[in-house]
Amino acid sequence: MQRFYDFLRRHPTGVDTFLAVMLLGVSLLWAVTAVNGVGPRLRAIGIVVLLSLVVALRRRAPARMLLLVVALGVLQLALDVSVNPGDFAMLVIIYTVAAEGGPRWASRLALVGGLFAAPLSQVRWPVDEASTFGRVFAGLVMTVPFVLAWVLGDSLRTRRAYFDQLEERATRLEKEREAQAKVAVAAERARIARELHDVVAHNVSVMVVQADGAAYVLDAAPDQAKQALETISSTGRQALAEMRRLLGVLRTGDTREGGEYVPQPDVDQIEDLVEQVRRAGLTVDFKIEGTARPLPSGVELTAYRIVQEALTNSRKHGGPDVGASVRLVYFDDGLGLLVEDDGRGAAHELYVDGGADGHGHGLIGMRERVGMVGGTLDAGPRPGGGFRISALLPLKPAH
C-alpha cells in the first residue's frame, strides 16, 4: 500500500488525468441518459467536458481553474443545466485552491463559492414536494461537503507550511552548529597554540641559558656545570611531558598521559616555576598577599601561564644581571598578578599593537588568555626602567 501511495505522489498529473477521464465518462453517461433534447444535451456535454478539464489541470493552474469553475457555475445556472456528476469538480477545485497555498483571494473566493453553490442550486432547481424548511435543510446539508473540502485543504496547507518551517529551522540549526563547530575548532587551535608557545618559549629558554652557563663553567666549576645539566634534563622532561599532553589532546581529545590524568598547571605550581627560574640564573622575589582560596581552573591556568611568559620575557629581554619580582594578591573578587623586572625592558614593538614583535606572540597570548576569563591586563615599561605586567583575574569566569 505504501508503494501505491508513493506512486501516486510521484505522478500527480497522471492521477489528475485519470480522475478527469473517469469523471468525464460518468458525466457523459448522465448527459446522454438524463437530459432530453439535443440542445440541452449539447449544453450539458460542453459544461461537463470543461468541468473535467478543471480536474485535469487543477494543480498546474489552481487559481485559473477556480475562475473557470465560477464561470461554469454561473453558466450552468443561466443555461438550466441541473446538478450533475460533473459538479464534483467544484469540490475538487475548492480543496485544491485551499491546499496549494496560492493567492489568499483565491482561497476566500473558493470558500464563498462553496457556501453559495448549494443554496443557489436549491433556488434554481427546487424540489416540488419539499417544504420551505426542507429546502433550507437540504441546502445546508449540501453545503457541508463544500465547507469540509475547503477546511481539509486549508488544514493541509497549514500543515505543509508548518513542516516547511520545521525543515527550514532544522537546516538553519545545522548550519549554525557547523559554524559553531568551526569556531570551537579555531578556538581550540588557538588555545593549543598558546600552550605550545608557553611550553616551548619557557622551557627551551631555560635549557639554553643553562647550557650556556654549563659550557662557561665546565672547566672551572664542574659541580656547577653538573647542576646546570641536571636542570636541563629536568626541564626537558617537563617540556616533553607537557608536549605529550597537548599532542594527546590533538590525537584523542583526552588529557591523559600513560593512562593517568595529567593536571593543568595551577597557582600552587607558580612557586615551583619561580624556583626553576632561580636555578636558571634569574633572581626572582616571590610573595603572596591575601588569603589563598580555590580558584576556577581557567583562572589558575591563566595565572600560571602569565607568570611563566613574563619571567621568560624578563630573561630574554632584560639583559644581564636582571632581577624580577612576582606578586600574587588575593582580593575578595579576584586574583591580582604583578610581575616586574629591573632590566633594560623589551623593545617598544613588543607591547604596542597587541604585543607582537615579529619574533613571538607572548603578550598576544597573555591578552587572549586574560580576555577568555573576563580579566584585564596591562603591560608596558616600568618607571625607572624595566618592564611590568599586571593582571586582574576575576573569581567567576566571564559569560
> Who wins on pLDDT, 291 or 199?
291
CA 366 – CA 387 distance, rounded (Å)? 15
What was the pLDDT predicted at 345?
64
DSSP conformation class of 306: H
- DSSP state string for 45-71: HHHHHHHHHHHHTTTTSHHHHHHHHHH
Give the pTM: 0.51
Q: Is the pLDDT of residue 80 over 60?
A: yes
94-151 per-position pLDDT tens digit: 999 999 877 889 999 999 999 999 889 888 888 767 677 777 888 888 899 999 999 9
Q: Any idea how long the chain is?
A: 399
What's the confidence (pLDDT) of residue 234? 76
Answer yes or no: are the C-beta atoms of 276 and 235 closer than 8 Å: yes
Predicted local confidence at residue 321, as pLDDT: 80
Read off the pLDDT of residues 146-201 as tens digits, 9 standing for 90 and up: 999 999 999 999 998 899 899 999 989 888 888 887 887 777 677 667 766 666 66
Burial class (CB in 10 A: 0-12, 13-18, 19+), 295: buried
pLDDT at 389: 92
Helix (H, G, I), strand (E, B), or coil: what is residue 385?
Answer: coil
Q: What is the pLDDT of residues 215-247, one digit of tens each?
A: 877 777 778 777 778 777 777 777 777 776 666
* Alpha helix segments (H runs only) across the chain: 2-10, 12-34, 38-56, 62-78, 88-100, 104-124, 132-217, 222-252, 270-279, 297-317, 348-351, 362-372
